[in-house]
Chains A and B, each alone.
Chain A
Amino acid sequence: MLATRGDFITIATAAGLALGLPLASGAEADAADAPPAPAPVSPAAWVQIAPAGTVTVVVNKAEMGQGVATALGMMVAEELDVPLAMVATQFAPADPRYIDPAWGDMVTGGSTSVPDMYPLMRKAGATMRAMLVAAAAQQWGVAPATLSTKAGAVIGADGKTATYGSLSALAATLPVPGDVALKPASAFELIGTAQPRIDLPSKLNGTAQFGIDVKLPGMLYASMVRSPAIGGTPAHVDATAAKKVAGVTDVVTTSRGVAVVATTYWVALKARKALHVQWNAGASAHVTSASIQAQHDAALAKPGIVQGTPAGNVATALQTAHKTLTATYRAPYLAHATMEPMNATASYTGDALEIWAPNQVPLQAQKAAAAIVGLPLSAVKVHSTFLGGGFGRRLEHDYISDAVEVSKQIRKPVKLIWTREDDVQHDLYRSGSTNKLTGAIDANGNVIAIHHHVAATSVTARWAPQFIQKQQDPYAMEGASTTPYTFPNFASEWSPIETGIPVGYWRAPGANANTFATESFIDELAHAAGKDPVTVRRALLSSNPRALAVLDGAVAKAGYGKPLPAGHAHGVAMVVWAGSIGAVIAEVSAPKKNAITVHTLTVAADVGQPINRDGLEAQLQSGALFGLSAALYGKITFAGGAVQQANFDTFRVLRMDEAPAVRTVVIASTASPTGAGELATPPVPAAVNNALFVITGKRYRSMPLTEAIV
C-alpha cells in the first residue's frame, strides 16, 4: 500500500506546512487486474497546517452522511496530536492525485473509505508531527527525542511550548522523514472515541452546501423531461407553447430527453408541462414486472454459473439427508430515493467546462463530461459538494452528463434539477432478485447442505466489468456465496438476467436481497429441525469465533430467549460485508393486514477498530432503518417499460411513526478497520421475517413484507 512507503513530501505553499505524496500510483500494490493510475504531474497536498494553527485535511471521498470527513479528520488528528476542533476538511477536486490507492480511482463505495484511507491519513498526521517536532528541536537547540506533543503544540522538557502554527513555516523547510512510527492502539486518545461530526454546525444552520445549493453568476435553471418508457429517446419535439412561457430561454434536446431552460427553476418546471414530445420506444418498452419475473423463473429452472469453489458435495448430501427443503425467495426492484434529488451544475464556455455536483465518482464524471464536450480532461474541472444521500445512486453520473449536455448547447452556466418523479422513474435500480435455495438437515438437526441459486441483473458487468473474472460476479453474490457460516456441503450459482432496465449499486449490493433469502431459509431449516434458530446458527459458526461473538453480542443485548410481551417475537439474521460481521435481532409484534410493527432492532457489529464511535453507531442505526424501509415497503414495478411509482406517496419509505429504536453493540477490536456504512442493511428484512414466522407460523418469501401480510 502506498502509505507504507513513507514517501510524503512537503508542498510549497505561501506559508505553513503542507504534506503531499510525490506519486499517487498505489494501484500496482493491489489487484493485478486494476488499471494503473495515471502518473501525476505534481504532488497534491493531503494535510496542511496554516500559521494560525488550523489543520486542513483534504477529503478524497464523498460526504453523503456516512461521516467520512470526520473519520478521515480523526485519523490525521490522532497521529498529529491536535484536537478535532482544530481540524477543517475540504473536498478534493477531481484529480488523479487524490485516488484511493485500493480502487485506483476516486470512488466512494463498497464501505471502503475508512479501511482504504486509514494507513495513508494516519501516516500523513504522524509525518507532519515528526516535522513539527524537528522544527521545534532546531529552534530550541535540543534533541527531538526530548520533546513531546499535545493539543496542537510541541512541548519541551522544560515545559516551554510552541504551537504548530508557529512552527509550520520552519517545518516546511525540513526534510520529510522516510519512516515514522504510528501510535499503537493503546495510545489512541481520539480514534475509537465518540466525536461530533466535523460538518455538524453547517448542517444545523442551513449553510452546508449541497449540489442543489450551487449558484453561479448568470446561471440558468433547467428541468428535463425523459421518456416514460425507460430508454426511449426524443423523436419529435413541439416546444412552441413551452417557449412562450415568460422566462424560458431555451429548449434543448439531449441524448436522453428534452430540457427546458429558464431564468428560474419554477418557470422551467411550469414550461416543461407545456412541452409536447413524442418518443422513440426504447429497447425495454415491452418490459413488465411479470416479464422480468418470467425471465428469472426460466433461468432458475436451468443450471446457473457456479460461483466460487463448492464445499463438499451438495448432491450427495441431499440424497442422504434426514430432511430436505426447497424454497424460492423474491426481492423487488428498488429506487434509491436520496433526499436530495439528482442535480448538477455545469458551465461550458467553449474551451473549458466546470461542474459542481454531489457525486461519488468525480473522475468518472469528469471523463464522461470531457467526452461530451470534446475537451481534454485538463479543461474539465469537477467540484464535489455535500451529497444529500448517496446509497450508491451517485456512483452514476447520468445526471451530471445531462447538465453538461445542456450547458454545451447553450454555452451558459446551468443547474439541472430532477424532480422527485424524475428521480424515482429514471433511477438505476436495485435489481429484482429471485433466489432458489435447497437445504438439508441430518438426523441430529444440523444443517449439512445449502445450494443457493441467484437470478438477478448484474451491476458490475456494466459498472466495473474488470471485476468479473471467469464469470464470477462478486457483488451479485454477496450474501449468497458469502456468509459467516461453514456448511459441510455448499454450492452457489448465478444466472445473470438481461432486461433492459438499468440497475445500479444500492446500499450493500447483492447482499441486500440475497441475505433476505439466505437468512430466512436458514431459519426455515432450523424450524424444520425443531431447533432454536440461534442454536442452529451458533453450530454453523463453530469455526468462526469472531462471528460467534457478534451473534452472542446481539443475543445478549436484545435479551433473546427471555420473555417478551404477549404477541411479540424475536427474529435473527447475520451478514458478512466488506470484511465486517453483523447480526440483527428484530422484535416484532403480531402483524395486521398490510401493517407490521417492529419494536426494536438490535444491531451487533465487528468492524475492526472503530474510528468515530458515535459515527459508527449512527451508521449502524442508519443502515438498519434503510433495510427496514425496504423490508416493509420498498417496491418498484414496471409496465410498458415505465416505472409505476413516482413520488413518496407511491414509493413508500419508512417514517418516524414506523421507526423502531435501534440498539447497537460494537465488538471491541483493534484490528484494521473494515466497512461499516452498509453492514446493518442486509440482515434486517430476514430478521423481521423470522420474527413474523414465530408469531404467525407462516413463512413469507417475498418483499415488501407488508404486502405479504393479508
Chain B
Amino acid sequence: MIALFINGTKHELDVPADMPLLWAVRDIAGLTGTKFGCGQALCGACTVHMNGIPVRSCSVAVGDVAGQKITTVEGLTHDGKPHPVQAAWHAENVPQCGYCQSGQMMSAAALLASTPKPTDAQIDDAMSGNICRCGMYPRIKAAIKRAAGVA
C-alpha cells in the first residue's frame, strides 16, 4: 500500500511502486482529469502539483512520492470556488478540445503561486513544456495575464 494525500484526501493505493503517479491517480484513485499525452515528460498533459511544485506525473514513480501532497485539476477548485486560473480560463474561453488544459492550468497555477506577476518571458518559460495541439497558446497566455492582473 502506498499512501498519497490527493486533493486533501488520504488515498491508500495498492499499486506497484514503479507505477507512474499518472496511472495511480487516473486508474486507481479514479481522478481522470489528469491526462496521458506522451509518457516521457514531453507534453505536460499529466502535470500535477507535488507539495505545490508542478511535476509531470507520467514520469514520477508513485513509490517515490509516498506520503506527499498531490493536487490535481479536481483539487484546483476550493470550497466550490474556482481557482483564479480556472476563472481566467473561463473568461478567455480558452479550451478547444480541452485535453491538454488540465495540465496547462496546473502549470499556470504553479507559476502564479511562485511568480504572481510574471513577465511574458517567465510565462513562456513556465508553459513551454505544455503542448496544445489546438494552438490555444495566445488564449492561455492571455488567461494567465488576466489571472495575474497584468497587462
Contacts and interface: CB of A to CB of B under 8 A. Distances in A.
Interface in B77-126: 77, 82, 86, 89-90, 93, 95-102, 105, 123-125
B73 interface: yes
B132 interface: yes
Nearest to B98: A203
A337 interface: yes
Interface string B59-83: 0000000000000111011000010
B28 interface: yes
B146 to A, nearest CB: 14
A624 interface: yes
A136 to B, nearest CB: 35
Interface string B20-36: 10010001101111111
B130 A266 contact: no
B136 interface: yes
Given A65-B134, A629-B135, A205 B128 contact: no
Contact of B101 (A203, A623, A661): A203
Interface in A172-203: 194, 196-197, 199-203
Interface string A194-232: 101101111111111110110100000100000000000
Contacts of A390: 97
B23 to A, nearest CB: 4
B77 A205 contact: yes
Contact of B96 (A66, A206, A656): A66
Interface stretch (A89-97, A544-552, A645-653): A645-653
Contacts of B15: 264, 266
A348 interface: no
A577 interface: no
Contacts of A391: 133
- The main secondary structure of chain B at its interface with chain A is loop
Contacts of A648: 38, 40, 42-43, 131
Nearest to A213: B32
Contacts of B40: 420, 647-649
Interface residues of B, number: 59
- For A266, A626, A628, the residue with the greatest tally of chain B CB atoms inside 10 Å of its CB is A266
A206 B99 CA distance: 9
Interface residues of A, number: 65
B137 A656 contact: yes
A654 B135 contact: yes
Interface stretch (A73-81, A364-372, A614-622): A614-622
Contact of B35 (A199, A212, A655): A212
Given A266-B23, A339-B99, A655 B128 contact: yes
Contact of B36 (A196, A338, A341): A341
Contact of A661 (B42, B105, B130, B138): B138
A662 to B, nearest CB: 6
Nearest to B72: A206
A264 B13 CA distance: 13
A701 B24 CA distance: 48
A420 B38 contact: yes
B137 A659 contact: yes
Given A629-B135, A649-B40, A206 B97 contact: no
Interface stretch (A123-131, A286-294, A381-389, A446-454): A381-389
B11 to A, nearest CB: 15
B133 A339 contact: yes
A622 B139 CA distance: 10
Contact of B131 (A215, A622, A655): A655
Interface in A380-432: 386-391, 417, 419-420
Contacts of A213: 32
Nearest to B33: A206
Contacts of A660: 138
Given A200-B90, A205-B74, A264-B28, A625 B36 contact: no
Contacts of B100: 339, 388
A621 B57 CA distance: 30
Nearest to A614: B93
B139 A206 contact: no
B151 to A, nearest CB: 14
A618 B134 CA distance: 9
A265 B30 CA distance: 13
Contact of B37 (A221, A270, A339): A339
Contact of A656 (B37, B45, B141): B141
Contact of B124 (A65, A647, A657): A657
A647 B42 contact: yes
Contacts of B30: 215
A196 B98 contact: no
Contacts of B20: 266
Contacts of A654: 135, 137
Nearest to B42: A648
A272 B34 CA distance: 23
B99 A388 contact: yes
A661 B35 CA distance: 27
A339 B19 contact: no
B16 A266 contact: yes
B97 A339 contact: yes
A624 B131 CA distance: 16
Given A648-B43, A657-B124, A200 B36 contact: no
A388 B35 contact: yes
Given A205-B74, A266-B23, A662-B138, A618 B93 contact: yes
Contacts of B27: 221, 264-266
Contact of B134 (A215, A264, A389, A661): A389
A67 interface: yes
B147 interface: no
A316 to B, nearest CB: 45
A340 interface: yes
A264 B19 contact: yes
Contact of A206 (B16, B74, B136): B74
Contacts of A212: 32, 35-36
B23 A265 contact: yes
Contact of B42 (A266, A386, A419, A649): A649
Nearest to A660: B138
A656 B128 contact: yes
A554 interface: no
Contacts of A656: 123-124, 127-128, 130, 132, 137, 140-141
A103 to B, nearest CB: 22
A679 interface: no
B7 to A, nearest CB: 10
A337 B133 contact: yes
Nearest to B140: A656
Contacts of B95: 65, 197, 199-200, 203-204
Interface of A: 64-67, 194, 196-197, 199-210, 212-213, 215, 221, 246, 264-267, 270, 337-341, 386-391, 417, 419-420, 614, 618, 621-626, 628-629, 647-649, 653-657, 659-662
15 contacts: A65-B97, A199-B95, A200-B95, A201-B90, A204-B101, A205-B74, A205-B86, A213-B32, A264-B28, A624-B135, A626-B133, A626-B134, A647-B39, A655-B129, A655-B131
Given A389-B97, A656-B140, 7 more contacts: A266-B23, A388-B100, A622-B134, A647-B39, A649-B42, A656-B137, A657-B127
